[in-house]
Amino acid sequence: MSDHYDVLICGGGTAGLTVAAQLLNNETPPSVGIIEPSDKHYYQPLWTLVGAGVFPKEDSQRDEKDYIPAGADWIKDRVSSFNPDSNSVTLESGKTVSYGHLVVAMGIQINWNGIPGLMDVLGKPGTGVCSNYSYETVDSTWNTIRALKSGRAIFTEPITGVKCGGAPQKIMYLTEDHLRKQGLRDRCEVIFCNAKAKHFSCDHYTPTLLNICETRGIDVRPQTELIEIRGGSNEAVFRKHETNEEVVLSYDMLHVTPPMGPLDLIKDSPLGNDAGWVDVDQHSLRHVRYDNIFALGDCSSLPTSKTGAAIRKQAPTAVANILADRAGQPATAAYDGYTSCPVVTGYGKLVLAEFDYTKGPCESFPFDQNKERYSMYMLKAYALPRMYWHGMLKGRM
Ligand SMILES: Cc1cc2nc3c(=O)[nH]c(=O)nc-3n(C[C@H](O)[C@H](O)[C@H](O)COP(=O)(O)OP(=O)(O)OC[C@H]3O[C@@H](n4cnc5c(N)ncnc54)[C@H](O)[C@@H]3O)c2cc1C
């Protein structure tokens, strides 16, 4: 490990590894250091299908060391503070590393304790409370779905932004489909309690998704926020935003998408905006106050849906602008807000939503993506994971 890098990357997740690989694929690569504490890297988009029993969770996990690109130094430590005025970062070990350019790619914070009572029951056998939102709890989802023979299944979405805006409802469609296939659908109620007013962030796809809910008898309750879990009595407490009334619902299955937000470390640093996200220009990905700092992925202030697919388009922009700076050229690369959400609507069915800052559709295929398709399900389940491990993380796309 050196004490200075041309480009220092904080976070070796989806965004950090992709940027590192692309920088090092360049003909005259800069020196690159990646600060990442974890031994493992996860392909999180697979967790939807892990939770639905399609894949074992081990398929989503690889060793971090195998994805640190050749030529980069892996600094196995944790960032503890940013010192942008002295172009350096302090690590938990007490060391300081300086940089020419800094890339912040540290993901989102999941606030599991934001729902009182959740941690008492989450993922524990027999409680019925599960979540796809971590490697540790994702198999509790499939165990819960399998055990459900009758009663009420509730799926929640918090008021905060979440990574992959469609994921809270994907697992609901899969559970409903599973119940139908098992001949149990008539014995179960399926309810989607969404704290947000909107069913989906891109209006173009909303009628299709709401129509699926209506056809399949899913009870959609917008502006209904999970505020507490009473595990002892299998009850979930919700606040209805329109009336401010509290409603208590009993459950047999409760899939929780927990509230999320910016990392405390970023919020409390000079890099954060008022909300706590790394404050970058939405097109250049350059920090609005510090010229040599870039951010992308879930930790950034980019006003688009937080997905790995978005990072696939953000990374080349950040890399091109950093390399242009280093060459003394104008940095003109611009990101258009592209993001994609493969909304799995059942086993073998998927609506591939793709949109950008305009919130208009921005589709890749020469057919109408605004309908459920088997081919798009196969893309998500089999092609995208391969493209991720062998293409994106290797800086090839
Ligand atoms: C259930 C689920 C389903 C999803 N489905 C999809 C999908 O279908 N399609 C899609 O495109 N996306 C999907 N996503 C979203 C996608 O996985 C994320 O948007 C993406 O992984 C974010 O990448 P990132 O690099 O910003 O953060 P991460 O990949 O989370 O990486 C952040 C890294 O920063 C590191 N870090 C944290 N703190 C520190 C510190 N102090 N110092 C140093 N390093 C630190 C972490 O260890 C981590 O490795 C899904 C996510 C989930 C959970």
The whole model's pTM is what? 0.97
CA of 250 to the centre of ligand 1 (A): 32
Minimum CA distance residue for ligand 1 atom 3:
45
CATH superfamily ID and name for 112-259: FAD/NAD(P)-binding domain (3.50.50.60)
Taking the domains of the chain in order of start, what are their residue ranges?
4-108+262-336+389-394, 112-259
Output the CA 298–ligand 1 centroid distance in Å: 7
Atom 49 in ligand 1: residue holding the nearest Cα: 13
Question: pLDDT (tens digit, 0 to 9) for every residue of the chain, 397 residues total?
Answer: 899 999 999 999 999 999 999 999 999 999 999 999 999 999 999 999 999 999 999 999 999 999 999 999 999 999 999 999 999 999 999 999 999 999 999 999 999 999 999 999 999 999 999 999 999 999 999 999 999 999 999 999 999 999 999 999 999 999 999 999 999 999 999 999 999 999 999 999 999 999 999 999 999 999 999 999 999 999 999 999 999 999 999 999 999 999 999 999 999 999 999 999 999 999 999 999 999 999 999 999 999 999 999 999 999 999 999 999 999 999 999 999 999 999 999 999 999 999 999 999 999 999 999 999 999 999 999 999 999 999 999 999 7
Q: How many CA atoms lie within 13 A of 153 on its CB side?
A: 31
Question: Are the C-beta atoms of 187 and 174 separated by less than 8 Å?
Answer: no
Domains 4-108+262-336+389-394 and 112-259 share a fold: yes
Question: Which CATH code is given to the segment(s) 4-108+262-336+389-394?
Answer: 3.50.50.60
Cα 256 from Cα 193, distance rounded (Å): 10
- Are 128 and 230 in contact by the 8 Å Cβ rule? The answer is no
The distance from CA 187 to its chain's CA centroid, rounded to whole angstroms, is 33
Residue numbers annotated as active site: 164, 341
Given phi > 0 = left and psi -120 to 50 = alpha, else beta, which region is 147? alpha
Q: Are strands 260-261 and 109-110 parallel, antiparallel or unpaired?
A: antiparallel
Place of tokens 């937000």: 261
Pocket of ligand 1 (CB under 6 A): 10-16, 35-38, 44-45, 47-48, 78-79, 105-107, 132-133, 163-164, 167, 265, 297-299, 306-309, 311, 342
| Distance between Cα 212 and ligand 1 center (Å) | 29
**Best of 106, 130, 162, 343 for a ligand 1 pocket test (most atoms within 8 Å of beta carbon):** 106
Q: State how beta strands 79-83 and 88-91 pair.
A: antiparallel
> Among residues 103, 140, 102, which one has the least CA distance to residue 118?
140
